[in-house]
Structure 1
Amino acid sequence: MQDLPPSPDGTVADAPTDNWVDRYAPAWTRPYLRLSRADRPIGTWLLLLPCWWGLALAVLYDQSPRWEDIWIFIGCGIGAWLMRGAGCTWNDITDRDYDAQVARTRSRPIPSGQVSVRQATAWMIVQALLAACILFTFNWSAISLGVLSLLLVTIYPFAKRFTWWPQVFLGLAFNWGALLVWTAHTGSLAAPAVLLYAAGIAWTLFYDTIYAHQDTEDDALIGVKSTARLFGKNTAHWLRRFLMATVGLMGLAVVFAAQPNASILAMVLALAGPWAMGWHMAWQLRGLDIENPAKCLRLFRANRDTGMIPLFFFGLALLA
């Protein structure tokens, strides 16, 4: 295990060197913003994009865009930032002993001593309450789903202690927005939303397995489980399966969403989304090197673009 001392200025080891938190945020706010991963925005995108997928397909499904959809769109962005921050803070609280033993994570605010557990807990509550203010502007069905998601957020940090598949729990939590936002628009769940949710889980298994390959050596030493450790040299084979599942399930979601009311042109345009997304995932596979942590991190971060691709085509379908 590589021995890297915490940075004297409090920067986190795997944050981009030019991130806005370290450059512009007031010094007293930086430990809290680092707890929220504000210096690493990729996680917010990965939480947000399934929400926007769900909204786009919901409008395609009922062909009834409304002014309130603008607020749902904006509220998703703010809520994703807040809930990702609250979830990451909770993760850091529960994982503080593990993080202190891993080279990449020991510079995080709690193990490095920038904040106490009590301060982190207070910050987590503030973020969750602000997110709740946004959630309560939606309909009661969406609110109920939002409250239910807290169970998944609570369980996730412990998953790597009892299962080789903690990425499944991350997928269940990170893609819940597809269900919630579909329901915020339509008032109830339907098959396309469930299929989209399943596609998102498969996508999460893809990108988070790549991400987990940064820590396989340290994870083995401290007994933390992951799909990266489980798959080992067979990772590329498993990632192809997740790629096919993502494309197939999202394609079915598009068909079920478009079939009732959308035009054939709209369906074709929307189906181009998962198809193009699959090609981007295939590009990642071609460049994968599980022995190169820096390359794994770059590929993981590329998944913001992966998730934007279907959203672009869903937008075109709505204009058709």
Structure 2
Amino acid sequence: MKKPVKETSAAVQEDSAGSAYRSGTAARLAGLSVETLRVWERRYELSDTQRSDRGQRLYTVEQVNRLRLLKNLVDQGHSIGLIAGLQIAQLEELARTHTSEQVHRAGPIRVALVGQRLKERLATTGRDNLSLDIRCTSVTLVDAMSVLPNAGAEVLVVEIAELDESAVPLIEQARQVADVQAVVVMYRFCPSAVIRQLRMNNCLVVRVPADIGELVVLCRTVLAGQRVALNVEQGAEPSPPRFDDDVLTSFTTASNTVGCECPRHLAEILLMISSFERYSAQCLSRNADDAQLHQELGRAAGQARNILEVAMARLAQAEGLQY
């Protein structure tokens, strides 16, 4: 194999023959430790890498560039768990957004907090370390109405452990009173219909994070206009199905050598997702009132199918399954 050329700029440049890097070299070029790269690969399946004749991972230039972007974004405060699934174009856009914010933003993010537990957790963690400028705090949304108008906050953060439909109009009223750019709503338990309604109102709705430090990531994300929870881009249409139902059904009954039933389980999941994707398309044509919602649901199912089809193809190759 041709020895890779040395890195000459911030981005790795591919030579005419097409370089392939082993794990140690790929980690060094991306600015990662080998241990970190191994953990990321194991937890998030970052790269569909090829293998050498000796079974070693080989990384292309594009894969190394993606690792470098991930590393830089994590250094800037993004959670690897939130960005690991993004494509390289999305990572580049997120990096550009961060750079633009650095140029135009002076100081930490200005936030207004609603929720007793949230206030207490931030107090014990330390505000300065979280890059947040807390303009006001309130225990309830009703209490917040009197302090929000003059807070000068950019992001309204609301934590309601048991979130129900009664909070939806209050959250919208608080948004208008505070005149904020974005709203983050955090919950522990909540009906799916309420989550859907809040997201349709352009709120970022997530479960309360175990690490309160992720609140900074959530605020940055919602200011950048990202949809972490769903991550369905308007223009990102899923690819056509790679496996039809007959092939997937055959996978569920095929014998395997991997010591578990992952091929059958994954095939069953794909059958379910494909069916839901088709069902969403039928709902789209039946109900004009919910057309946009079902279009988003169908797109999300298609994107999930595309991701799992890559995993299914790898399993099929390992098992020698024909399709």
TM-score norm. by structure 2 comes to: 0.27
* Higher relative contact order (CA closer than 8 Å, sequence separation 6+): 1
User: Which has the larger helix fraction?
Assistant: 1
- Of structures 1 and 2, the larger Rg is shown by 2
User: Which has the larger strand fraction?
Assistant: 2
